[in-house]
Amino acid sequence: MGVIEGILNFILIYLIVTGIFNFFVLTRARKAAEKANKEHLELKPEVKEEIEMVRDNICGRSLPKSEAYVLAKNEIKHYFCSWDCREKFIAGNQM
């Protein structure tokens, strides 16, 4: 076997080895990406938080609890869509 053939064989083996190595690295990277994507999709339902709705007894509107005006009376919480409804409730109940 000549020197040139030896070098060519070495290059060939080198290319095959790096090719296999790259294949495994890429496969692992793709699997990791797929897994991350899947986990992300599974997390979505948890991210969607449940919005608790409350009813304004003055005007009858339903609204998210976080946006409601709150008034506590006799340990009971009353929710209102606006300051006006809250005032109407107070006026009606002579608090």
56 binds Zn ion (CB under 5 A): yes
85 binds Zn ion (CB under 5 A): yes
Beta carbon nearer to Zn ion, 34 or 84: 84
Beta carbon nearer to Zn ion, 54 or 56: 56
* 53 phi and psi angles, rounded to 5 deg: -100, 145
Q: What b/e sequence results for 2-41 when a residue is b if at least 16 CB atoms lie within 10 Å of its CB, and e otherwise?
A: eeeeeeeeeeeeeeeeeeeeeeeeeeeeeeeeeeeeeeee
- Per CB under 5 A, the list member of 78, 79, 81, 86 interacting with Zn ion is 81
59 binds Zn ion (CB under 5 A): yes
Beta carbon nearer to Zn ion, 30 or 65: 65
